[in-house]
């Protein structure tokens, strides 16, 4: 466990049942402002397409808006799905963001398409071939951020020579190994790949090659965190996330963020409940005291260098309260860590 582990926020701009995408985007801006006031290190936004539950499609546009509405917190992509874009275009977009908001922009990149079906992926130009090209495209992207000699024919302007931190997003061992080979920091999505989390992190650390940007492995773990004043309240709020997972497992169109229910077991049969629990095995849920115990255990198990919390909470006041409790727990964890140094 390291001293003062940074805590950050991942926000998918969830669209609540009955709300519009505009409502969701404005709510995400409010959450970013709150995260900044509460002292979180980063606020990241992912790329999703054609998913009814999320409004985070045009990631660089949303990052630009939120960066302009905040002052100190780092804003980043968690992440850009590289198979949907050319490396040059991504370098130019994030070079522009870094030029406008120097020292505050992060670029997380992944190899998925960020959508639920093949038709949307095809519309994006994301194919199995473009996903297989991820290692080469990632190397090309990194090259566009380096200072380039005048005789080079292709330059990212803005982009070349700018210090835009690039993270590799992973929910599998494959992407973790790519991060290790390039000496880049790893952001592992345990809310997606909980079953392979430990194996992927071990592969990353064992295969890590020091680079010009990173001398030692650096691991951020993203996970569901649902906080409330009591364990029972937190569990009820978490049923919104469980309902969305159940919908996906049933092969249904992704629900907009539903209201919580008193008894999730009434909605799922025993086999479905087991599958939902398996998918949610990495989720942290509870009061401040419960979350402190769970987070300490997570840090001891993984030796993570940073924690990134993701929450799907329908009620806006409860969403804000959850953020406040996570900040309180973070401070308690930091106090423990300082006492151990």
Give the model confidence (pLDDT) of 275-315 as tens digits. Answer: 999 989 999 999 999 999 999 999 999 999 999 999 999 99
Percent helix, strand, coil in the chain, to 5, is 50, 15, 35
Region 180-189: mean pLDDT is 97
Query: 3-class DSSP state for residue 280?
Result: coil
pLDDT of 93 higher than 90: yes
Question: Residue 216: its pLDDT value, please?
Answer: 97
Distances (CA, A) of 248 to 51, 116, 205, 280: 11, 9, 32, 13
Count of H-run helices and E-run strands, the chain: 13, 9
The pTM score is 0.94
Region 99-114: mean pLDDT is 92
Query: 3-class DSSP state for residue 110?
Result: strand
Query: To the nearest whole number, what is the mean pLDDT of the chain?
Result: 93
Region 55-79: mean pLDDT is 96
pLDDT of 1 higher than 50: no
Radius of gyration of the chain (CA): 19
pLDDT of 145 higher than 90: yes
Class of domain 7-340: alpha beta
Is pLDDT larger for residue 116 or for residue 25? 25
CB 199 within 8 A of CB 176: no
Q: Where are the domains of the chain?
A: 7-340
CA-wise closest residue to 183 among 171, 165, 198: 165
What is the spatial distance between Cα 49 and Cα 330, in angstroms, rounded to a whole number? 32
pLDDT of 149 higher than 90: no
Question: Residue 174: its pLDDT value, please?
Answer: 95
Please give the share of the chain, as a percent, with pLDDT higher than 90.
79
Question: Residue 88: its pLDDT value, please?
Answer: 96
Phi, psi dihedral angles at 307 (to 5 degrees)? -115, 135
Question: Residue 322: its pLDDT value, please?
Answer: 98
Separation of CA 116 from chain center = 17
Quickly state the pLDDT bin for 52 (edges 50, 70, 90). Answer: confident
Query: 3-class DSSP state for residue 167?
Result: strand
């Amino acid at each position: 466990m390291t001293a003062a582990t940074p805590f950050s926020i991942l926000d998918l701009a969830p669209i609540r049942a009955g709300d519009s995408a505009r409502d969701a985007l404005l709510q995400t801006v409010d959450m970013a402002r709150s995260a900044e006031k509460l002292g979180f290190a980063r606020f990241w936004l992912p790329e999703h397409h054609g998913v009814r539950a999320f409004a985070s499609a045009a990631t660089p546009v949303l990052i630009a808006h939120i960066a302009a509405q905040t002052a100190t917190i780092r804003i980043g992509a968690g992440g850009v799905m590289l198979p949907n874009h050319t490396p040059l275009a991504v370098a130019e977009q994030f070079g522009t963001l870094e030029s406008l908001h120097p020292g505050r922009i992060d670029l997380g990149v992944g190899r998925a398409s960020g959508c639920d079906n093949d038709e949307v992926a095809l519309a994006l130009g994301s194919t199995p071939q473009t996903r297989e090209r991820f290692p080469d495209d990632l190397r090309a992207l990194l090259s566009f951020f380096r200072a380039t000699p005048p005789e080079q024919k292709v330059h990212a302007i803005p982009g070349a020579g700018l210090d835009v931190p690039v993270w590799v997003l992973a929910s599998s061992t494959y992407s973790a190994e790519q991060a290790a080979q390039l000496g880049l920091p790893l952001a592992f999505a345990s809310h997606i790949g909980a079953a392979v989390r430990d194996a992927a992190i071990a592969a990353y650390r064992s295969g890590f090659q020091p680079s010009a940007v990173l001398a030692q492995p650096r691991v951020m773990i993203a996970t569901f965190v649902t906080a409330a004043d009591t364990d029972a309240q937190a569990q009820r709020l978490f049923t919104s996330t469980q309902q969305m997972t159940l919908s996906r497992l049933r092969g249904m169109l992704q629900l907009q963020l539903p209201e919580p229910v008193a008894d999730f077991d009434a909605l799922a049969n025993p086999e479905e409940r087991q599958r939902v629990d398996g998918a949610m095995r990495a989720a942290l849920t509870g009061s401040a005291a419960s979350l402190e115990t769970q987070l300490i255990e997570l840090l001891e198990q993984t030796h993570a260098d940073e924690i990134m919390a993701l929450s799907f909470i329908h009620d806006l006041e409860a969403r804000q309260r959850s953020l406040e409790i996570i900040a309180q727990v973070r401070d308690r964890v930091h106090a423990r860590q300082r006492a151990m140094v």
